[in-house]
Chains A and B, each alone.
Chain A
Amino acid sequence: MENLLKSTSLIQRAYWLVRLRWVAIVMLGAATFVAGRFLHITLAAGALYTITGVLLVYNFVLYDLLRYWTWGQKAPSPGRIGRMLTFQIAADLVILTTILHFAGGIENPFSFFFVFHMILASILRSKWESYVHASSAVLLFGGLVVLEGLGVLPHYDLVGFADHGLYDKPIFVFGFLFVFVVTLYLVVYMTSSISEQLRIQQESYERANKLLEEKDQLKNQYVLRLTHDIKGHLAAIQSCLEIVIAGTVGALNDKQTDLIDRAHRRTVKCMAFITALLKLTRMKLTGELEVERFSLKNCLFNALAAVQNKARAKAIAVSHTITTSTDELPGEAVLIEETVTNLLFNAVRYTPEGGAVELEVRDDGPFVRVTVSDTGIGIPDEAMDHIFEEFYRAPNARAVERDGTGLGLAFAKEVVERHGGTIEATRNPTAGTTFTFTLPQRLTPETD
């Protein structure tokens, strides 16, 4: 997995180089054209256009290779992509040197562009490899200007730009090269130090993150164990109480009935809490979905039916608009139904009498979008960021209803995200809250 991630991010970097090269190709062609046509600078246009063409073909080949690597059956090893990056950087140094040779050598200010290659190398490759690239740039460009100065290689004058050539003045050549060498090595030193530090930092973040995940799993196992045991005891208490309440073992007096009823009510509430916690924890631990094609419409109608009585008792109008054929969604029906039921129950619970709750479902590109909006008490600003956290309950929700697990929305978030969707809450302009969640219409690798 780590290998794969590394490969993917390396391929992204390789794409980056290819994209930058498209820009360079356009610039080279345009610069040659503008310099000759408008600035009346004489240069070896034929050679430069030829290089532009060669670069174009070269970049297309690289682009194709990357596409093949991205979409092909087998991802290449990180080492292989790394070698490709090294090759690209080295080849680019040769190409830039060649371009400079045909366009005035030392007199061409584009020699500054070697700095870009040093920065790229320092970001993409290791520190020592970047120094190797700096050294080859020095050897290539230094060799070029020295050989041109000595007359071993022909010098192409930039007539109209640097008329009184400097390429054969030793003091200028050496002065220029001195600054050139210092600049390149300093750029590599600074950039690779920074990027190495970032790399180390990122690695330590990743390690810390992994550790946290492991701790979280441990916590979940602990909670699972605990809730499971408590549930067993609660079930026994509730069973015994219910037999007494049913009158199976004889009648009670009024006071006894009242007290047993109280005990029973509290047991039921505790049971609801423990069951919700157990469900959430189990899902977090196993992390697997039983993906089947299911009818979202059925889930929605079941959820609507589940809240009907409660809504009617508070004279809350529950309406629905379903404008998508939602009979074939991939996912786990029971979980989605429970999620929608949770959201609808919340909407009804936190909406004053005579209010309205609306359920809406529509297509949204590759997703189905489900919204539940109410005219209720709303979510205060300071609570907005926390409502999907386990055990969190907004202060105004607590005031309306003292008992609540604080787990319903955490569960909803877990379910939706496991399906590859997202969930969010927004404030309605007038009053109340809208919860929106999405579900992918097709399987993605995450839900497969």
Chain B
Amino acid sequence: MGQGRILIIDDDPDITEAMSVVLENKGYTVASAADGSAGLEQVAAERPDLIILDVMMRTSQEGFELSRQLKGSAEYKDIPILMLTAVKDKTGLDFKSTAGDESWLPVEEFLDKPVKPDVLLEKVASLLSKS
């Protein structure tokens, strides 16, 4: 059974619920937020061990901005972020996972939606074991 507090920041309540079910079933504690600012408040209140962040919320930039904000703060920069996006599919959004680039996206892992339950659990476990 997994252990750890996970914060899901996504404006799609059904996706959030589906992931929560999978994660809670494995023993994780799950909290959620529906937008960037609520997410930031939750991060401060909950001190999660892992953040699952949707790249496209109300504005297509919200996920990006939040990830940069978190990784730029001394307090939260060590919390791993799993970003939900089609990054592997380069025809979509263009960004790189290396620093220094303007399109730098400072997250540990990417997953395209819909996330398969076993893949989600595997990524979450590996990120939590690293941190």
Listed in ascending order, the chain A residues whose CB lies under 8 Å from chain B are: 231-232, 234-240, 242-243, 246, 248-249, 271, 275, 278-279, 282-283, 290, 332, 334-335
- Assess the A239–B118 pair: CB atoms within 8 A: no
Asked if B97 is an interface residue, CB under 8 A from chain A, the answer is no
Shortest A394–chain B CB gap in Å is 25
Asked if B25 is an interface residue, CB under 8 A from chain A, the answer is yes
Residues 39-71 of B contacting A (Cβ, < 8 Å):
none
Q: A234-B114, A279-B89 given as contacts; is B22 within 8 A of A243 (CB)?
A: yes
Chain B residues, CB < 8 A from A246: 22, 117-118
Shortest B48–chain A CB gap in Å is 20
Interface string of B63-93 (1 = CB under 8 A from A): 0000000000000000000000000111110
Max chain A Cβ within 10 angstroms of own Cβ: one of B17, B25, B90: B90
Asked if B108 is an interface residue, CB under 8 A from chain A, the answer is no
Shortest A272–chain B CB gap in Å is 12
Shortest A447–chain B CB gap in Å is 16
Residue of B nearest to A279 (CB): B91
Asked if B38 is an interface residue, CB under 8 A from chain A, the answer is no
Chain A residues, CB < 8 A from B118: 246
**A409→B30 CA distance, assembly (Å):** 43
Shortest B19–chain A CB gap in Å is 7
Contact of A279 among B21, B92, B116, B117 (CB under 8 A): B92
Residue of A nearest to B18 (CB): A239
Interface string of B7-29 (1 = CB under 8 A from A): 00000101101110110010000
- Assess the A335–B90 pair: CB atoms within 8 A: yes
- Assess the A249–B12 pair: CB atoms within 8 A: no
Shortest B92–chain A CB gap in Å is 6
25 chain-A/chain-B pairs, Cβ below 8 angstroms: A232-B12, A232-B113, A237-B14, A238-B114, A239-B14, A239-B15, A239-B113, A240-B17, A240-B18, A242-B18, A243-B18, A243-B117, A246-B118, A248-B21, A278-B92, A279-B89, A282-B91, A283-B91, A290-B94, A332-B90, A334-B88, A334-B89, A334-B90, A334-B91, A335-B90
Q: A239-B19, A279-B91 given as contacts; is B12 within 8 A of A248 (CB)?
A: no
Max chain A Cβ within 10 angstroms of own Cβ: one of B17, B19, B89: B89
The DSSP consensus for interface residues of chain A is helix
**A278→B18 CA distance, assembly (Å):** 24
The number of inter-chain residue pairs (CB within 8 angstroms) is: 60
**A275→B86 CA distance, assembly (Å):** 10
Shortest A339–chain B CB gap in Å is 11
Interface string of B110-124 (1 = CB under 8 A from A): 000111111000000
**A283→B93 CA distance, assembly (Å):** 11
Shortest A398–chain B CB gap in Å is 26
**A199→B22 CA distance, assembly (Å):** 67
Max chain B Cβ within 10 angstroms of own Cβ: one of A237, A238, A248: A248
Chain B residues, CB < 8 A from A282: 91-92
Shortest A310–chain B CB gap in Å is 20
Residue of B nearest to A288 (CB): B94
Shortest A433–chain B CB gap in Å is 26
Q: A232-B12, A249-B21 given as contacts; is B89 within 8 A of A239 (CB)?
A: no
Chain B residues, CB < 8 A from A271: 114
**A283→B89 CA distance, assembly (Å):** 12
- Assess the A236–B14 pair: CB atoms within 8 A: yes
Chain A residues, CB < 8 A from B94: 290
Contact of A243 among B21, B89, B90, B92 (CB under 8 A): B21
